[in-house]
Amino acid sequence: MTNIHNVTVAGGGVLGSQIAYQSAFKGKKVTIYDINDQAVAAAEERVKNLRDSYKHDISATDEQFDAGLNNMSFTADMAEAVKDADLVIEAVPEKPSIKHDLYQNLAKMAPKDAIFTSNSSTYVPSTFAADTGRPDKFLNMHFANQVWLYNTAEIMGTDQTDPKVFNEIVDYAKEIGMVPIVLKKEQPGYVLNTLLIPLLEAASYLWGQGIADPETVDKTWMIATGAPMGPFAIFDVVGLRTAFNITKEQRGDNPDFKPFLEKIQKMMDEGKTGKDSGEGFYTYPNPAFADPDFLKA
């Protein structure tokens, strides 16, 4: 058993809310912190909306789900959120400026012994280690979307991370029902996204350049590989804002990706931000790619 009992998740977006609830579902006391009351209310709603998924996907009962909810609190007060934290999990947007500022503020407010981890999907921990004020207690722990179902936790430290802290996070991942994926050195994208990002970028290019529509791309991938969903369905699950931010940060200066960014921006302006909003490339809760006829001629 670890000594991690009180957990703060900084950022209550799509994945942050899932990480927080999964931890609470497994018995941890969890606080979600977000930037303002509106963001906090949205996070609370996201968490409550996980009920049907937990019941359908892992046969959780209402009583079990409610027990997880009872382990949670929500606040826009950072000092309040981290005052008792044994672990702080950062899950804010993939913008370095936001993360640098967050860690510098957390460093002043969190207990000196608190471990910090980042759920960053693209940035290695050494990028922000100095900001934390505790580089020996800082590492990355990256979750896949729909954490209760796709239960990996990719764990990556720096050459400054204390091995005991690293091992404690490996054990923590197990405690909350994850399979730890241990990386031996820093790698942008870890294992999962090192494999996945080239697929998503190829799909972005095909749609952005008008070569094929999203359903055609997804259908091709699903038929040819047997995958349960294609890249545009994955974009919906991840959230279009995340897809936009990562593409802009990684490929924003590449003209080949400008049309994709413009199209995604238009969708977001129309309120189509992915599965979380009920519509992205597909409409939910019954997306076309889940229909058995989707793969037929």
pLDDT at residue 200, rounded to an integer = 96
Rounded Cα gap, residues 21 and 211, in angstroms: 40
H-run or E-run covering 3: none
Rounded Cα gap, residues 297 and 289, in angstroms: 13
Q: Is the pLDDT of residue 289 over 90?
A: yes
Residue 46: which pLDDT band, with cuts at 50, 70 and 90?
very high
Contact 133, 118 (CB under 8 A): no
Rounded Cα gap, residues 161 and 180, in angstroms: 17
> pLDDT tens digit string along 162-188?
999 999 999 999 999 999 999 999 999
Q: Is the pLDDT of residue 272 over 90?
A: yes
Percent of the residues in the chain that have a pLDDT greater than 70, as a whole number: 100
Q: Average pLDDT for residues 195-219, to the nearest whole number? A: 96
What crossing angle do the helices spanning 192-208 and 214-225 adopt, rounded to 10°? 140
Average pLDDT for the chain? 96
Residue 269: which pLDDT band, with cuts at 50, 70 and 90?
very high
pLDDT at residue 114, rounded to an integer = 98
pLDDT at residue 273, rounded to an integer = 96
Locate all alpha helices (DSSP H) within the chain, ordered by sequence.
14-25, 37-48, 51-58, 62-70, 78-82, 96-109, 129-132, 163-175, 192-208, 214-225, 231-238, 240-251, 258-269
Q: Is the pLDDT of residue 24 over 90?
A: yes
pLDDT at residue 110, rounded to an integer = 98
Rounded Cα gap, residues 93 and 273, in angstroms: 14
Percent of the residues in the chain that have a pLDDT greater than 90, as a whole number: 93
Q: Average pLDDT for residues 136-151, to the nearest whole number? A: 96
DSSP one-letter code for 283:
B
Q: Is the pLDDT of residue 236 over 90?
A: yes
Q: Average pLDDT for residues 142-147, to the nearest whole number? A: 94
Rounded Cα gap, residues 187 and 210, in angstroms: 32
Q: Is the pLDDT of residue 238 over 90?
A: no
pLDDT at residue 8, rounded to an integer = 98
Residue 297: which pLDDT band, with cuts at 50, 70 and 90?
confident
pLDDT at residue 11, rounded to an integer = 98
pLDDT at residue 121, rounded to an integer = 86
Q: Is the pLDDT of residue 250 over 90?
A: no
Q: Is the pLDDT of residue 56 over 90?
A: yes
DSSP one-letter code for 134:
-
pLDDT at residue 138, rounded to an integer = 98
Q: Average pLDDT for residues 34-56, to the nearest whole number? A: 97
